[in-house]
Structure 1
Amino acid sequence: MTTEYSGAEIGGLVGDDGSGGDGLGPLYVYRLRQPCGLVEERGDVCNALDFQACPADPGRVVEYLTVQQRPVVRTDGTAAVEMPAGAQPGDLLEDWIDLRTECLDITALNPPPSPEEVFSYFQRLPLPQLTTRHAPPGAGLSGLPVVFWTDSPTTQTFTVDIRGFTVVIAAEAQQYTWRTGDPAMPTLTSTEPGAPYPDQAAEHLYRSGTYTAGLTVTWGATFTVDGSAPADVPGTTTTNGPPVTFDVVEATAVLTNPYD
């Protein structure tokens, strides 16, 4: 971890925002470093003393870090230490100095993912494309409904890393929109995936012809962050299943002699 912050951003961590209180900018800037990284940077080898587990309440981010401080040239061209010739406002002076190494609550610097941030990830997940099933399985008959359902999985769980947080997104199909391929009634909707007759999700009467149907699924989700209580993802996304093409034929009455 080699992130640098201004004094104001981590003032709560060090008890001092680094400013002189006169509106001319900070006297110092700070950065947080992992102790092991500092040890290796200085040519030594990390050992157990360079690591420490830090307990944290749910939703909090607590890490074992070293706070470092360095003087900076202020907006009026002054600094807390002697400046070299030609120093400009914003230039860093001298070397980084270790202030302390301890468990620090850095939640404010790296807040847990917001619902809106999780939603942006949810929209990009590889959600399954549900397959359309229909009956009769071959050609349908004009005047006899073609029934639709899907037997594809309607839930899926994803684990994603968002800025170091483990976010588990549990997606579930919420609405099924059956694209009939018939301009007379382009779509049918249901809230259940259905099953073969008589538990189908939707049905449609077709005239004779060739049709291509498909299924659009609207997905919702809940999420957890580092084992937190589940929360709703604030939005939905959709997937389109593969199309299925079938014929609908006109049944023709044929007179037969029952005595033959």
Structure 2
Amino acid sequence: MPFGAASACGGLDAECPSEPGVAAGSGTFDVASVIDGPGGVAVASRIAIDPYPSYRYRLLPPCVVADETIGGCEQGLFCAPVEGRVVQYYVMQRQALVVPPELAPGDPANDASLAAGFAVGAARGGYLTYRQGCVDVTELNPAPSPAEVFAYFQALPLPQLATSVQPPGGTVLVGLPTIFFTDAPTEQVFTVDIRGFAVVITAEAREFTWHTGDGGAVVTSDGPGAPYPNQTVTYDYTSGSYTTFVTVTWGGTFTVNGSAAVEVAGTTTTDGPAVQLTAVEARAVLTNPYD
């Protein structure tokens, strides 16, 4: 078995572990250093360990490489999941770099490159495969941050909640509080793919701004209101015609591949459809009780 805890599904009776809890996707990474880490898992970084590194590296998915040394494309290679880390199976290649002569005494290839006018840090050959296995690429492909998720959150098709009014029918009474509420769902769940991570966003309606249409007057609440007799959002109109609607402020939380929930770094709003109201005064009318 190559270095790193991995197996090929269906090969030599190897048992297939479950997919990792987080994944880096299928891309190729150019990196500055690859060092041995705990459990036989290499750790890749974009930061060079030495001021004059001898190599630069790149990581390729096994099916991108067809090489006699590794037997070509191997399907179903999985690495044991590590909580909070991004670990995936890669073919590791490296390219030799020119270093100062005192760092590579007796290295004829490095000496020849310097003699040929190559600058320190320049490549002195192509990429060569030197091993394969499980690599921790968390630093290269970190889990989505709250700010990154917020960019997706703002683009979600959040619902425009409709305003319900009592009394119904578009005519309300002066001197009788008008009741506002919405019975539309105030929680929405979305699953989005962000750089290969399955991100589940739960959007929650956290504040409601009821535009009364009465000279800019608004009523705010932290809930969706309720119909009579449990009303919580009301407004007293004078005679006239009005256009009302509700603006909902949405916040949310998200999980990454089943992680603990994290707060989205910001809120967004939606405006519901307008409702036309006419406020009239109620007049007493005498009737003949015997008719």
Q: TM-score, normalised by structure 1?
A: 0.83
For 1:129 and 1:16, the matched residues in 2 are separated by 44
Decide whether the 8 Å contact of 1:219 with 1:236 is kept in 2. yes
Displacement after TM superposition at 1:82 (Å): 4.1
Within a 5 Å distance, the mapping from 1:237-252 to structure 2 comes to 237-252=268-283
Q: 1:29 aligns with which of 56, 65, 72?
A: 56
Q: Deviations over 1:163-185 (max 9, x none)?
A: 211111111111211111112x7
Q: Deviations over 1:113-150 (max 9, x none)?
A: 12222223222222111111101112111112211100
Q: Secondary structure at the match of 2:77?
A: coil
Aligned partner letter, 1:152? A
Within a 5 Å distance, the mapping from 1:15-164 to structure 2 comes to 21=50, 23=51, 25-39=52-66, 46-48=73-75, 51-73=76-98, 80=110, 82-83=112-113, 91-138=122-169, 139-164=171-196
Q: Secondary structure at the match of 1:126?
A: coil
Decide whether the 8 Å contact of 1:71 with 1:81 is kept in 2. no
Displacement after TM superposition at 1:45 (Å): 6.5
How many matched pairs?
250
For 1:194 and 1:144, the matched residues in 2 are separated by 17
Q: 1:198 to 1:16 in 2, by over 3 A?
A: closer
Displacement after TM superposition at 1:28 (Å): 1.9
Q: 1:134 to 1:20 in 2, by over 3 A?
A: closer
Displacement after TM superposition at 1:27 (Å): 3.1
Decide whether the 8 Å contact of 2:43 with 2:135 is kept in 1. no
Counterpart of 1:169 in structure 2 is: 201
Q: 1:54 to 1:177 in 2, by over 3 A?
A: same
Q: Secondary structure at the match of 2:148?
A: helix
Q: TM-score, normalised by structure 2?
A: 0.75
Q: 1:52 to 1:208 in 2, by over 3 A?
A: same
Aligned partner letter, 1:63? Q
Q: Deviations over 1:62-101 (max 9, x none)?
A: 100011101245699x983744967567653422111210
Displacement after TM superposition at 1:189 (Å): 1.5
Decide whether the 8 Å contact of 2:53 with 2:121 is kept in 1. no
Counterpart of 1:226 in structure 2 is: 257
Q: Deviations over 1:29-48 (max 9, x none)?
A: 111001111129x9x97344
1:209 aligns with 2:240: yes
Could you tell me which runs of 5 or more consecutive residues in structure 2 were left unpaired when the two chains were aligned.
1-26, 37-41
Aligned partner letter, 1:26? P
Range that drifts further, 245-254 or 89-98: 89-98
For 1:6 and 1:110, the matched residues in 2 are separated by 14
Counterpart of 2:213 in structure 1 is: 181
Decide whether the 8 Å contact of 1:11 with 1:18 is kept in 2. no
Decide whether the 8 Å contact of 1:19 with 1:27 is kept in 2. no
Q: Secondary structure at the match of 2:66?
A: helix
Percent of aligned positions that are identical: 49
Aligned partner letter, 1:214? F
Q: Secondary structure at the match of 2:253?
A: strand
For 2:49 and 2:255, the matched residues in 1 are separated by 42
For 1:6 and 1:202, the matched residues in 2 are separated by 60
Q: 1:130 to 1:19 in 2, by over 3 A?
A: closer
Aligned partner letter, 2:188? Q
Displacement after TM superposition at 1:254 (Å): 3.2
Could you tell me which runs of 5 or more consecutive residues in structure 1 were left unpaired when the two chains were aligned.
none
Counterpart of 2:8 in structure 1 is: none
